Amino acid sequence: MVLTERGSIRTDLGAMRTVDTTCAYCGVGCGVRLHIDGRDQIVWVDDQPQNPSSQGMLCVKGRFGLTFVNHEDRLTKPLIRRNGVLEEATWDEALDYVADKFVEHRDSFAVLASAKATNEDGYVLQKLTRLLMGTNNIDHCTRLCHSPSVEAMLMQLGSGATSNSYEDYDNAGCLMVVGSDTSSNHPVIASRLRRTIDERGTKLIVVNPKRIDLCDYATYFLRPNPGTDVALFNGLAKAIIDEGLADSEFVNGRTQGFETWAESLKDYTTERVEHLTGVPAEDIRGAARLYARPPLGPLAPNPGGIRPLVSDQRPATSDFSYGGSCLIWGMGVTQHTCGTDNAHALLNLALVAGQLGRPGNGVSPLRGQNNVQGCGDAGCIPDNLPGYQGLGEANRTKFEQAWGSLLPCERGLRATEMFELAAEGGLECLYVTGENPLLSEPYIAHAEEAVEKLKFLVVQDIFLNETAQRADVVLPATSFAEKDGTFTNSERRVQRVRKAIEPVGESRPDWDITADLARRIARRLEMPVEQFGYEHPSQVFAEMASLTPILGGISYERLEALGEEGIQWPCPAPDHPGTKRLYTETFNVGPRAPFVPVEQGPPAAELPSRRFPLLLNTGRILYHWHGGTITTRARTLLARSPQLQIAVNPADAARFNIADGEDVVLYSKRGDLEGKASLTEAVRAGEVFVPFVKLQERNANFLTNAVYDPKSRIPEYKVCAVRIQKVGAPQTLRPGSGQAWRRGRREGGSAGHA
Amino acid sequence: MSDGAASRVQVTIDGRSVSVPEGASLLDAVLAAGAHIPHLCKDDDQAAIGACRTCLVQVEGQRGFPASCYLPARDGMAVATRGEDLDRVRGTVLDLTAAMLDPGGRGAAHLAGELARYDVASRFERGAAHPSTLRQAQGSGRTGVDDSTPAFTLSHADCILCQRCVEGCQDVQHIGAIAVLGGGERAHIGAFLDQPLVESICTSCGTCVSVCPTGALYPRSNQQLAASD
């Protein structure tokens, strides 16, 4: 082996072959080259430099975290609960049992699809739900992350997808990153942002209550009080208008409702906004100027020196005769009771500054899961057929003709509504694939109650997660490394996922399990089974493309011919090159995008009080993925970050007599959580931060509040009130743990009162 | 790439004619021709560093043995990758490079193949003393190995200071956690203030590991981690 030649097989680590595929962690969609040994173990992961989304970059999770695939905890056989215990069963036993039960509970049935699975998995699953189960009750974790962005973008622009490509970040004059710890959650995007800042002098504005790593590169760091984002963005917009920086050509030609909206901003003077948000008026004005009039940066130099990366060819100079601003946001915007209003305020800002639809600008809700974009595209949402085609007559007829039976016309249940309905005893049967709601729903104790009330729960996953432990049937699925398929990343790029190893144990790909199950259900319902006769995911994709105009021109043959390039939708025809930017001419809502006036309301449903004086913010850390079901099974990542760290400001630590590294416990009205105190100025006095990964049986969602944004039904993960004290310190307020409080609450006592 | 015929140059490598895009280096042409020469410090996807001086070639009509990674390919160049004098010079460079390494270590093992290809008996085989004891005592903690991150180890006695890792950290990932610290015989790769990597801004992304030509940066296996659980 010659180590100097990159991409050569790492025989020194035992590898015998390599397979190029797409990383299964976040929505960036990085190319990975898996090095696999003779026992089908992933022994090393290289970047795939031809992938245009990652351009040879890779983060710690992609490089060292994919070993979960070979972890000994993988589910290898179907499990059926008999006499209260999950016992191994054959596939036939399990699937026949599930089919019987699904038919029995057909009128009270819902599905949670997986944003970690492929487009093909999602498509087959929603087809089963709609065609056989006769319901639109299908949703996925987008409800818990970007549903407010999607609601707001659908209303104002007509599509919930990122409008630009990553290459627009490379060519922007100004980047505004709002409520996103990009270095932790989308590390390769952060690398691209740092690259353009380093090499081109691009300006960066960070908006975040927490000091994130990217702040080191920021021109402005705006630190609003939690829950005051609407005021801040209204203030920024008003500053843009007042200083005459609005893009009048764009506003006059491509928007509507400007006058009414501008009138609604009259109270958001920078001084009043400073009072509301805590952000200095001068910073608001400065950031507004930078966003509306980004500097005209020099063209990005070819980073490859003598030999540039093939995938890194820059667009022609003429495209960049002006500076553009990209607006990039994450969960800090959405996971609030005012999440949709926050997203509207952001979009208004982009519209008034005309920072949309041209090279070097755009609006980007950074997608969390690897395939959260594709899961929605494939139709795993309660209000749209695949490709965001509404449930209206014409669309239904098209699908009914293709699928050979009638389809439901009523909007289905959203994920959070499923749990509320279940808690009331109104939902009998739930089919969960590749999700773990008992870790990701807010106020876990409440979600557990809801699951207890289900009559039949099926979980299809790669590990026996918290939800699977309570299931009646567990179906072992394969990971991304054991199947073919496609993911769609945050820039709408459809990318190939290639089978690298044989399925672990008896596990099967999701699309295969679902199609098999569907055939059994169809037989019981005396419906034709041919609708689910797929033998390869390429057939699933071909059917999806034939019914979905935005994917119409994409096929496995085309994707394979393009290597790692992928194709960005909309791609309506086989000769269409794909679309780098949306909204260059018009919007999906029409030629004019509406402004939507929004007002700052109460910052959060639960604010600090005398008994719970601190404000808890939740989020993620670089070394773990969401709830940690996967990353705690990647040894490198777990060893790098084995304990739950509770970030506390030194002033609060002094106030509550806590030292760095000490074991502390947080209490909210709903539960408690132990962790190690980590003293840091990154959080402000009065605030604490906990990643929502579950480590050592501890998870922040025991604390978080199950209150929802009325428009999108997203839970308010980002704000709740807590108290902190040392482990073992005397309980000053009342004895007992959070568990006791929950019991008290259930018995009719009001929570949090002695 | 859409390069037309006009933007390509024609060169001859060991008598074989190849065409490469204008701006390509002679090393690119050599590799395109399917010939092998060591290029320890040149990452396939990055700009040339020119530190290792092992990718030497002989160009017809030019004196000396230039490093091919830094020499632009020009139309009509005739290049040889082997030759008595060339092999001798390259062998000496490889031998001196190997002399930086712990002879029993991973780096020396990786270099052994190249040494054998050019028939170089290393100076250790010839009985010379090696200076690697000094290098073993370098870096954070003065143990010679930084194993502070669970993702990989950095062994100074296996490092030839080619700086591919530094380039990967800065030019690929734009993190800039590592650099060459110290000078002369004390030069070594390390983080700011010689802190252990885990305490620096390093994010353990592993780009340095993937580009290291000698295995000085080496992944820790699952088995190792399992044993230390």
**Tell me: the pLDDT tens digits for A273-305?**
999 999 999 999 999 999 998 887 555 544 433
The answer to whether position A166 is within a domain reads yes
Mean model confidence pLDDT for chain A: 89
Counting beta carbons within 10 angstroms of the beta carbon of residue A685, is it exposed (0 to 12), middle (13 to 18) or buried (19 or more)?
middle
| Residues A295 and A190 occupy one common structural domain | yes
- pLDDT of residue A311 exceeding 60, the answer is no
Binary contact (B225, A310; C-beta < 8 A): no
- Confidence band for A547, pLDDT divided at 50, 70 and 90: very high
- pLDDT of residue A470 exceeding 80, the answer is yes
The answer to whether position A31 is within a domain reads yes
Q: Which of A378, A367, A372 is nearest to A122 (CA)?
A: A378
According to the CATH classification, is domain B5-82 in 3.10.20.740?
A: yes
Phi then psi dihedrals of residue A61, to 5 deg: -70, -40
A166: left (phi over 0), alpha (psi -120 to 50) or beta: alpha
Binary contact (A306, B45; C-beta < 8 A): no
Distance between CA atoms of residues A466 and A473, nearest Å: 13
pLDDT of residue A628: 87
What does the block give as tokens for B133? Answer: 């004891």
Distance between CA atoms of residues A490 and A469, nearest Å: 32
Taking residues A218-242, what's their average pLDDT?
94
pLDDT of residue A316: 37
The answer to whether position A580 is within a domain reads no
Contacts of A703 (CB under 8 A, 6+ apart): A616, A666, A667, A668, A670, A671, A672, A673, A690, A720, A722
Residue B204 has its nearest CB partner, among A46, A64, A198, at A64
Which one-letter amino acid corresponds to residue A258?
F
Q: How far is CA A618 from the centre of its chain?
A: 15
pLDDT of residue A314: 38
Taking residues A125-145, what's their average pLDDT?
92
Highest mean pLDDT among A563-572, B3-12, B127-136: A563-572
Binary contact (A307, B28; C-beta < 8 A): yes
Q: What percentage of chain A carries pLDDT values higher than 90?
A: 71
Which one-letter amino acid corresponds to residue A702?
F
Q: Which of A305, A313, A566 is nearest to B2 (CA)?
A: A313
| Residues A557 and A493 occupy one common structural domain | yes
| Chain A / chain B CB contacts < 8 angstroms | 116
- pLDDT of residue B3 exceeding 70, the answer is no
Q: What is the pTM of this model?
A: 0.89
The answer to whether position A536 is within a domain reads yes
Name the DSSP letter for residue A161.
S
| Residues A92 and A160 occupy one common structural domain | no
Task: Quote the radius of gyration of chain A (alpha carbons, Å).
Answer: 25
Nearest-neighbour CA in chain A from B84: distance (Å): 23
Beta carbons of B77 and B60 less than 8 angstroms apart: yes
Contacts of B10 (CB under 8 A, 6+ apart): B17, B18, B19, B75, B76
Taking residues B118-142, what's their average pLDDT?
57
Taking residues A441-459, what's their average pLDDT?
89
Distance between CA atoms of residues A681 and A660, nearest Å: 12
pLDDT of residue A6: 64
Taking residues A429-443, what's their average pLDDT?
89
The answer to whether position A583 is within a domain reads no
CB distance from A592 to chain B under 8 Å? Answer: no
Count, in order, helices (H) and strands (E) of chain B.
7, 9
Element (H, E) at A194: helix A187-200
Contacts of A335 (CB under 8 A, 6+ apart): A144, A145, A714, A715, A716, A717, A718
Long-range pairs of A102-106 with CB within 8 A, sequence gap ≥ 24: A102/A133, A102/A429, A102/A431, A102/A456, A102/A517, A102/A521, A103/A521, A103/A524, A103/A525, A104/A456, A105/A428, A105/A429, A105/A455, A105/A456, A106/A133, A106/A134
Overall number of domains in chain A:
4
Distance between CA atoms of residues A298 and A314, nearest Å: 12
Taking residues A32-49, what's their average pLDDT?
92
More confident residue, A631 or A732: A631
pLDDT of residue B91: 87
Which of B205, B212, B229 to mutate: most A Cβ within 10 Å? B205
Q: Which of A700, A662, A698 is nearest to A678 (CA)?
A: A662
Quickly list H helices, B140-211.
164-167, 207-211
Q: Which of A429, A381, A368, A427 is nearest to A139 (CA)?
A: A381
* Segments making up each domain of chain B, as ranges: 5-82, 131-227
- pLDDT of residue A390 exceeding 60, the answer is yes
- Confidence band for B201, pLDDT divided at 50, 70 and 90: very high
Q: What are the C-alpha distances in Å from A152 to residues A255, A390, A566?
A: 15, 17, 28
Contacts of B228 in chain A (CB under 8 A): 639
Taking residues B188-201, what's their average pLDDT?
91
Contacts of A651 (CB under 8 A, 6+ apart): A685
Distance between CA atoms of residues A169 and A305, nearest Å: 20
Q: What is the CATH number of the domain that holds A701?
A: 2.40.40.20
Contacts of A84 (CB under 8 A, 6+ apart): none
Nearest-neighbour CA in chain B from A167: distance (Å): 15
According to the CATH classification, is domain B131-227 in 3.30.70.20?
A: yes
More confident residue, B32 or A737: B32
CB distance from A374 to chain B under 8 Å? Answer: no
- CA dihedral (A264, A265, A268, A269) in degrees, to 10, reads -130
First to last CA, chain A: 69
Contacts of A729 (CB under 8 A, 6+ apart): none
What does the block give as tokens for B140? Answer: 């954070």
Cα angle for residues A454, A460, A464 (degrees, 5° grid): 90
Taking residues B53-74, what's their average pLDDT?
92
Give the three-state DSSP class for A231: helix
Q: What percentage of chain A carries pLDDT values higher than 70?
A: 92
Last residue of a domain, one of A365, A392, A421: A365
The answer to whether position A594 is within a domain reads no
Distance between CA atoms of residues B184 and B187, nearest Å: 6
* Cβ neighbour number for residue A131 with a 10 Å cutoff: 24
Beta carbons of B135 and B157 less than 8 angstroms apart: yes
- State the ipTM, two decimals: 0.88
Residue B191 pairs with which residues in a beta bridge? B178
Q: How far is CA A473 from the centre of its chain?
A: 27
| Residues A16 and A56 occupy one common structural domain | yes
More confident residue, A752 or A681: A681
Distance between CA atoms of residues A155 and B196, nearest Å: 51
Distance between CA atoms of residues A268 and A280, nearest Å: 14
Distance between CA atoms of residues A217 and B175, nearest Å: 11
Residue of B nearest to A60 (CA): B205
The answer to whether position A606 is within a domain reads no
| Residues A407 and A526 occupy one common structural domain | yes
Binary contact (A12, B215; C-beta < 8 A): yes
Helix axes A119-127, A537-547, angle to 10 degrees: 70
Residue of B nearest to A49 (CA): B45
Distance between CA atoms of residues A564 and A424, nearest Å: 48
Binary contact (B204, A56; C-beta < 8 A): no
Taking residues B61-70, what's their average pLDDT?
92
Taking residues A470-480, what's their average pLDDT?
96
CA-based torsion, A427, A429, A433, A437: positive or negative: positive
3-state helix, strand, coil in chain A (%, to 5): 35, 20, 45
Which one-letter amino acid corresponds to residue A693?
V
Binary contact (A622, B203; C-beta < 8 A): yes
| Residues A173 and A90 occupy one common structural domain | no
Distance between CA atoms of residues A641 and A184, nearest Å: 13
| Residues A128 and A163 occupy one common structural domain | no
Contacts of B217 in chain A (CB under 8 A): none
Distance between CA atoms of residues A126 and A131, nearest Å: 8
| Residues A522 and A630 occupy one common structural domain | no
Residue span of the structural domain in which A56 resides? 11-70
Residues in chain A: 754
- Confidence band for A232, pLDDT divided at 50, 70 and 90: very high
Give the three-state DSSP class for A403: helix
What does the block give as tokens for A555? Answer: 């096929």
| Residues A456 and A542 occupy one common structural domain | yes
Taking residues A215-235, what's their average pLDDT?
94
Phi then psi dihedrals of residue A189, to 5 deg: -60, -45
| Residues A644 and A702 occupy one common structural domain | yes
Last residue of a domain, one of A344, A365, A386: A365
The answer to whether position A338 is within a domain reads yes
pLDDT of residue A321: 46
Residue B150 has its nearest CB partner, among A4, A7, A640, at A640
| Residues A118 and A162 occupy one common structural domain | no
Q: Which of A620, A727, A740 is nearest to A669 (CA)?
A: A740
| Residues A630 and A671 occupy one common structural domain | yes
Contacts of A63 in chain B (CB under 8 A): 151, 205-207, 209-210
Residue B205 has its nearest CB partner, among A59, A309, A635, at A59
Phi then psi dihedrals of residue A646, to 5 deg: -105, 115
What does the block give as tokens for A124? Answer: 């087959």
CA-based torsion, A80, A83, A87, A91: positive or negative: negative
- Confidence band for A730, pLDDT divided at 50, 70 and 90: low
* Cβ neighbour number for residue A267 with a 10 Å cutoff: 13
- pLDDT of residue A645 exceeding 50, the answer is yes
Contacts of A309 in chain B (CB under 8 A): 45
A400: left (phi over 0), alpha (psi -120 to 50) or beta: alpha
Phi then psi dihedrals of residue A614, to 5 deg: -110, 155
